[in-house]
Amino acid sequence: MITESGIHSPDDVSAMRKNNVHAFLVGEAFMRAEDPGEELRAFFC
């Protein structure tokens, strides 16, 4: 299962993982971030 939208924060990722979703399409949150690499680490580390 893949979630394709609505991922705006690390809490969103956590909620999806608790429901057995382990693949994410995240775009807007990273594009709006000042440092996309750091935002990525915040979401998934």
Task: Give the residue among 15, 22, 28 at the shortest CA–CA distance from 39.
Answer: 28
Which residue type does 6 have? G
Query: At residue 36, what are phi and psi to the nearest 5 degrees?
Result: -55, -35
Tokens describing residue 9: 């924060």
Give me the pLDDT at residue 20, please. Answer: 92
Assessment of whether the complete model's pTM goes beyond 0.75 = no
DSSP string, 1-45: -EE-S---SHHHHHHHHHTT--EE---HHHHHSSSHHHHHHHHH-
Q: Where are the domains of the chain?
A: 2-44
Question: pLDDT in tens for each of the 45 residues of the chain?
Answer: 888 878 888 999 999 999 999 888 888 888 899 999 999 999 887
